[in-house]
Amino acid sequence: MSDEILEKIATNVVQGRVEQEDEGFDDGFEGQPAVTELVEEALEKGIDPNDILIDGLTASMTTVGEKFEKGEYLIPDMLAAAEAVGAGMDILTPHLLKAGVKSKGKFIIATVAGDLHDIGKNIVAIMLKGAGYEVIDLGVDVPTPKIIEAVKENGAPFLGLSALLTTTMRNMEEVITRLKDEGLRDKIKVCIGGAPTSQDFSDKIGADGYCSDAFAALDWVKALAA
């Protein structure tokens, strides 16, 4: 019974289905329980939250990744799957904490001050959440003091900064300078991303990494954790 429901969760992650009403990648799924309903059902049946996490949610993301690599899946399919994992994580997190299971770590993410663009930032957030990180999304046009405050408050090991404008990307440097000033720089790894940014710019402002897209962000954070 436990295997069956975990398999169903995994299938629905691959199908990118959050809720019962969602369509899947393949036809014929609409109306059937999706990740949200299945995770709740699994918990009700007393299945170990850690098993739900590993065998139901995260393992199936490997299948999703392979499908993307083969060209079978496009970005929306990948994101739908990550979103399904994220929805499952929201339900599981309190149970995991109760069971003493630690998350992969907190990841603060923000679009810097003066910049309202958030598509790239949101995609990175969905993918990170889908990979098991606890994402703290500060939103757009976030003033530097607010970012510093969040870093202090959460003790997060990772910070991601996003900007789409050449005029606002300089605010990334300001965040890094303030982290140094506050004595926080050694405690957190900072990555940057956004159309006008580059590896050169990342090096210049003293960030720890430049991520050209959401996959690069995942690779970056996984490499740090390894």
Partner 1 sequence: MSDFRQGNIVKPYERLNREQIDRIHEASMAILAEPGIWCYNKQAAELFEKNGAASVLEDQGDSPCWRVRLPRKLIESAIAKAPSKVVLGARDPQNRLELDAEVPRVYFGSGSETNVWLETEMVEFVDPNDDSDRRKLPKYTEKRGSTALLARAAHLCEQLENLDFFIRPVNIQDEGITEQNHDVNKFFASLNNITKHVQAGLTSLDALGDVVNMAEIIAGGPEELRKNPVLSFIACIFKSPLQLVDDTAEKVFAIVKQGLPLVISSSPQGGSSAPIQEAGIVAQINAEILTGIALTQLIKPGSPVLYGSVPVRARLDDLHDLYGCPEFNQYNLDCVQMARHYKLPCYSSTGVGNAKVPGMQATFEKLFSHLYMAASGAQYIHYAFGLLDRTNTFCPLQAVLDNEQIGLAKHCMRPALIGEAEREEAVEIIRKVMTTNHKLFTRHTRKPVRAGLVSEPYHFESKTGEDHVLEKALDHMAALEARPVKHLARDMVERIFDEIPGLLPELKQSM
**Residue with token string 């970056």:** 220
| 50-85 core/surface letters (b: 16 or more CB in 10 A; e: else) | eebbebbbbebbeebbebbeeeebeeebbbbbbbbb
Which of 58, 111, 122, 168 lies at the binding interface for partner 1 (CB under 8 A)? 122
Task: Look at residue 44 and give its three-state secondary structure.
Answer: helix
95 contact partners, CB below 8 Å, separation of at least 6:
43, 49
73 vs 179 by CB, closer to partner 1:
73
Q: Between 55 and 137, whose beta carbon lies closer to partner 1?
A: 137
Binder to partner 1 among 3, 31, 72, 76 (CB under 8 A)?
76
Query: CB-wise, 38 or 207, nearer to partner 1?
Result: 38
In whole angstroms, what separates CA 199 from the centre of its chain?
22
# chain residues binding partner 1, by CB under 8 A: 19
Using rule CB under 8 A, residue 74 touches partner 1: yes
Q: How far is 220 from 43, CA to CA, in rounded Å?
A: 32
In the list 52, 113, 126, 150, the residue contacting partner 1 (rule: CB under 8 A) is: 126
- In the complex, the smallest distance separating the C-beta of residue 2 from partner 1, rounded to whole angstroms, is 28
Asked whether position 14 contacts partner 1 by CB under 8 A, the answer is no
The span from the CA of 193 to the CA of 84, in Å, is 24
Position 37 contacts partner 1 (CB under 8 A): no
Q: Using CB under 8 A, list all residues that contact partner 1.
A: 16, 18, 22-23, 25, 74-77, 79-80, 83, 118-119, 122-123, 125-126, 137
